[in-house]
Structures are given as structure tokens and as C-alpha cells.
């Protein structure tokens, strides 16, 4: 395997393995020299890449659930153990971006730089600590660092290890509801594909089914570069939309949803376009687990499903799980895939009809008992005051979210050159 230390090759592609987790998808991040390895969420709904930092006992994560309780050490990056680690300086574009300031001198002023030094861009003080917020009250606190990131690539089909120096990431010492780290894949300058120079081309992913959750022996590929865009003639492409207030999200337009062979339930016009204030549209967000839709559109879809599904409702499981439609499905032989649950189709701009794999819509929330299994629809309502994910409340921001659960067994291509997103249902386990 060849080792190179630059991404400035027109014929270079990055190919990273992706594994399935309980509520999303993970890639390995190899930081420092020698590399320290971390499993982090792949998130197209944010830009910052970060990892837990400090000693294993010093990193604190609040409200992270039993699985990530503070009593259980979480692997943390140790800057002192990397010979190539540096602190990011206050005058850098990354420091300005993470502090979201209209005045590029503010970060330098915060650390006490003299006027001549920060006006000339020569202040050598470290970028001040930041806070970075996500939906649902989640946030991380840390500082910006630069180090080598090591990736798996391909040049003319030859596998290489790629050392990229000067990669900027968050060294996070404490967080709320964000336990293990994130690789930001948004369109901002801090994102991983942006720093590597791939946002002028694009990337793709094909997520394994959630039945492979926590099984490291099964992976699928995240691809950045020309290889992600080649041989995609049979894909269903819909144009990307642009938002002036949220320019780093990947927006598409949703025109309707149909159940089986039925007529499409028309989406409100706000889902197929973005207004002058940047509101509306649907974002493609791998950092959100389930697809979110607003009422009354969402309620109309639930009513249509309930009218055609020939099974008894399981109201107790709906109460216990928080999902809106759960049904008792006859099952005499596992894995209980033979049922009459209808297919769900998304209708996007450009006359695109994406038929979701059935397993991407319904999930067995119980084991078979007395030849019955309970399956629930894994969509959720986006309430007016909902800030559960990377979206705004009320009618601000995106009007809907396409979550990662609905992207399993669908190859998704982010074609940045042509300004479009493509979809193709397939068994990602067979195409990894």
C-alpha cells in the first residue's frame, strides 16, 4: 500500500468503510501521528468534525444515556501523544467560522491580541474555545486543533493510505447528548469533504440495513471523488435547492408521498421550494435517524397508511415507543419479512419517484411471540416547537428531514458538480 500526503490529485478518490450503529452510521477517523482511531457519526447536517479529547477519564458527556454513561470511559484523543498536533490560531478562517462572527477580528480580540497583530492577521495566539450546538439541546465545548488525518484512497484503482496534514477538527472536552464524535459532511469550510477539496466534485454512500447494527464485519463504502459520480446513469436525480439562511445543508424538494400504487398525497408548496427567508424544502441529513414531516401533511400520510394496512393496531407499543403507527403482523418464520405492509414512495422535484425499501420504513420493535411480531412506521412528526435535530422550530428552517433510517439500502450520490442528489435502491451489503 502506497502512502502519500496530498489530496491534490484529479484522479484521487477516497473510499472509507461505513458501519451501522444503533441510531446512525459510523466511519473511522484516524488522527495524529501515530494515528489515534475513533468511531464517529457521519453527519451531512453539520460541518464540524470533532472527537472526545483529553484523558479517558476527563472527557465528560452529560445526558448520554446508559450506554454512554460518564462512569464508562470513552476513548479520547490525546494531543500530547501526537507529534504533529498543533493548536489552531485565532486568525484562521476556521476559527472565524466556528465562532460564527460577522467580524473576523472578534476571535483574536477575545484572546487579547493587540490591534496591529490581529489587523495584519499575524496574531499567534490560539483560537479561543468554542461551543457548537446541534438540535435537541445537544452541544459540544472544545478548542480547534490541527493534525494529520489518515484516509483510505484509490489512485487508478491502486489502494493507498493518504496522510493529510493540517486537518482542522474540534478537540472536545465536554458535551451534552453527543457522546462519541462526529465527522461533519455539510457544505461549510470546516467539513471533512470541504477541507479535503472534494466539495467541487461530490461523494456518495450506501448505508447497510440496520439489521447489521454493531456488526463490524459488515461495512459499506463512503466514496469521495469522481468514482462517486461515475456510472450513475440509472440513478434518480433531483436538483439541490439553496437556502440563504442555511447554505451548508443539502436541500431537495419534496412534492408528495404515495402509498403503494395509490395517488400521491400532495406536499405543501413549502416542501418543494425555499422562500426568500431561507425556509422550506427538505434536507438530506444522515445525522438525523428518522424522516420528519410536518402536520397536516404528516397526519394525512398516517391516515392513508392506516386505511390500507390490514392488521390490528398495537396501541400499547405506540405509547411505549413513541412511534405513531404500530401493527401486529402474523409471523410464523423469522425474519418475518412476508407481510402486506405497503411500499412508500417519495416524489421529488424533477419527476423523481423513489420507492423506499420496505425495511427502511417499518421496523420490528418486538421479537415474535405467539406467531405475532409488532412492526412500527419509523417516521416522525416535526412539531412546530420541534428542535430535535439539525432543524429549526415553528416554520423556520427546513420543512422536512430525510433521515438515515430511510436511506438504508439506498445509494445516495451528492453530485456537487451538477448541483443534484441521486438515489438508487439496492442491497448495500451486496455492493460494498
Q: Dihedral of the CA atoms 403, 408, 409, 411 (nearest 10)?
A: 50
Residues forming a β-bridge with 330: 372
Q: How confident is the model at residue 113 (pLDDT cuts 50, 70, 90)?
A: confident
pLDDT of residue 91: 86
Per the structure, the complete domain to which residue 346 belongs is given by: 231-425
Q: How far apart are CA 125 and CA 316, in angstroms?
A: 58
Q: Which residue has the higher pLDDT, 54 or 184?
A: 184
pLDDT of residue 56: 64
Q: How confident is the model at residue 9 (pLDDT cuts 50, 70, 90)?
A: low
Name the catalytic one among 147, 163, 285, 390.
285
Helix and strand numbers, DSSP H then E, in the chain: 7, 28
Domain check: are 194 and 154 in the same one?
A: yes
Whether 167 is covered by a domain: the verdict is: yes
pLDDT of residue 183: 98
Whether 106 is covered by a domain: the verdict is: no
Percent of the chain with pLDDT over 70: 92
Report how far Cα 298 is from the mean position of its chain's Cα atoms.
22
106 is a catalytic site residue: no
- Boundary-marking domain end, from 177, 204, 226: 226
Whether 432 is covered by a domain: the verdict is: no
Percent of the chain with pLDDT over 90: 71
Q: Is the pLDDT of residue 99 over 80?
A: yes
Query: What's 284-320 look like in SS3?
Result: ECCCCCCEEECCCHHHHHHHHHHHHCCCCECHHHHHH
Residues forming a β-bridge with 101: none
Q: How far apart are CA 181 and CA 168, in angstroms?
A: 14
CB 106 within 8 A of CB 91: no
- Boundary-marking domain end, from 226, 252, 284: 226
Domain check: are 214 and 236 in the same one?
A: no
CB 325 within 8 A of CB 342: no
Name the catalytic one among 13, 43, 47, 339.
43
pLDDT of residue 389: 43
SS3 call for 430: coil
Q: How far apart are CA 96 and CA 128, in angstroms?
A: 10
Domain check: are 54 and 137 in the same one?
A: yes
pLDDT of residue 163: 92
Whether 372 is covered by a domain: the verdict is: yes
Domain check: are 294 and 320 in the same one?
A: yes
Domain check: are 269 and 183 in the same one?
A: no
pLDDT of residue 387: 42
pLDDT digits (tens, 9 = 90+) for 63-96: 887 554 444 567 899 999 999 999 999 989 999 9
Q: Is the pLDDT of residue 328 over 80?
A: yes
Q: How confident is the model at residue 392 (pLDDT cuts 50, 70, 90)?
A: very low
Per mean pLDDT, which range of 78-87, 327-336, 341-350 is the poorest?
Answer: 327-336
Whether 110 is covered by a domain: the verdict is: no
Domain check: are 293 and 313 in the same one?
A: yes
Nearest to 390 by CA among 378, 403, 408, 406: 403
Q: How confident is the model at residue 102 (pLDDT cuts 50, 70, 90)?
A: confident
The stretch 99-114 carries a mean pLDDT of 84
- All 3 cell numbers of residue 190? 470546516
383 is a catalytic site residue: no
34-67 CB burial, b ≥16 within 10 A, e <16: ebbebbbbbbbbbbbbbbbbbeeeebbbeebeee
Q: How far apart are CA 250 and CA 391, in angstroms?
A: 12
CATH number of the domain enclosing 210? 2.40.70.10
Domain check: are 178 and 278 in the same one?
A: no
The stretch 230-244 carries a mean pLDDT of 92
CB 281 within 8 A of CB 271: yes
Domain check: are 49 and 194 in the same one?
A: yes
The number of folded domains in the chain is 2
Domain check: are 221 and 245 in the same one?
A: no
- All 3 cell numbers of residue 359? 425495511
Domain check: are 242 and 222 in the same one?
A: no
Amino acid at each position: 500500500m502506497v502512502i502519500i500526503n496530498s489530496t491534490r490529485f484529479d484522479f484521487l478518490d477516497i473510499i472509507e468503510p461505513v458501519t451501522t450503529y444503533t441510531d446512525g452510521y459510523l466511519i473511522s477517523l484516524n488522527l495524529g501521528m501515530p494515528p489515534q482511531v475513533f468511531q464517529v457519526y457521519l453527519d451531512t447536517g453539520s460541518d464540524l468534525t470533532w472527537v472526545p479529547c483529553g484523558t479517558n477519564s476527563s472527557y465528560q458527556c452529560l445526558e448520554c444515556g446508559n450506554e454512554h454513561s460518564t462512569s464508562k470511559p470513552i476513548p479520547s484523543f490525546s494531543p500530547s501523544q501526537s507529534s504533529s498536533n498543533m493548536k489552531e490560531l485565532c486568525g484562521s478562517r476556521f476559527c472565524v467560522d466556528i465562532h460564527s462572527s460577522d467580524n473576523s477580528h472578534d476571535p483574536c480580540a477575545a484572546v487579547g491580541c493587540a490591534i496591529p497583530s490581529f489587523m495584519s492577521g499575524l496574531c499567534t495566539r490560539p483560537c479561543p474555545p468554542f461551543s457548537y450546538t446541534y438540535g435537541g439541546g445537544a452541544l459540544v465545548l472544545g478548542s480547534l486543533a490541527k493534525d494529520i488525518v489518515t484516509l483510505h484512497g484509490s489512485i487508478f484503482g491502486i489502494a493507498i493510505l493518504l496522510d493529510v496534514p493540517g486537518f482542522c477538527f474540534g478537540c472536545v472536552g465536554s458535551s451534552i447528548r453527543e457522546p462519541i464524535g462526529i465527522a461533519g459532511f455539510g457544505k461549510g469550510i470546516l467539513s471533512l469533504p470541504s477541507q479535503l477539496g472534494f466539495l467541487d466534485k461530490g461523494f456518495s454512500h450506501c448505508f447497510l440495513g440496520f439489521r447489521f447494527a454493531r456488526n463490524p464485519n459488515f461495512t459499506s463504502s463512503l466514496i469521495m471523488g469522481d468514482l462517486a459520480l461515475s456510472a450513475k446513469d440509472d440513478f434518480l436525480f433531483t436538483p439541490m435547492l439553496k437556502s440563504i439562511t442555511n447554505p451548508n445543508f443539502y436541500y431537495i424538494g419534496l412534492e408528495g408521498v404515495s402509498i403503494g400504487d395509490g395517488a400521491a398525497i400532495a406536499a405543501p408548496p413549502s416542501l418543494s421550494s425555499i422562500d426568500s427567508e431561507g425556509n422550506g424544502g427538505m434536507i438530506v441529513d444522515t445525522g438525523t435517524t428518522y424522516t420528519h414531516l410536518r402536520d397536516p401533511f404528516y397526519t394525512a400520510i398516517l391516515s392513508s397508511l392506516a386505511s390500507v394496512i390490514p392488521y390490528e393496531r398495537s396501541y400499547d407499543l405506540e405509547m411505549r415507543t413513541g412511534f405513531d403507527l404500530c401493527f401486529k403482523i402474523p409471523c410464523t418464520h423469522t425474519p418475518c419479512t412476508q407481510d402486506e405492509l405497503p411500499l412508500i414512495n417519495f416524489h421529488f422535484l424533477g419527476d423523481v419517484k423513489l420507492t423506499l425499501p420496505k425495511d427502511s420504513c417499518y421496523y420490528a420493535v418486538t421479537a415474535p411471540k405467539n406467531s405475532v411480531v409488532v412492526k412500527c412506521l419509523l417516521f416522525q412528526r416535526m412539531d412546530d416547537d420541534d428542535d430535535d435535530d439539525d432543524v429549526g422550530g415553528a416554520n423556520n428552517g427546513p420543512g422536512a428531514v430525510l433521515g438515515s433510517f430511510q436511506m438504508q439500502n439506498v445509494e445516495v450520490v451528492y453530485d456537487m458538480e451538477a448541483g443534484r442528489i441521486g438515489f438508487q435502491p439496492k442491497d448495500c451489503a451486496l455492493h460494498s
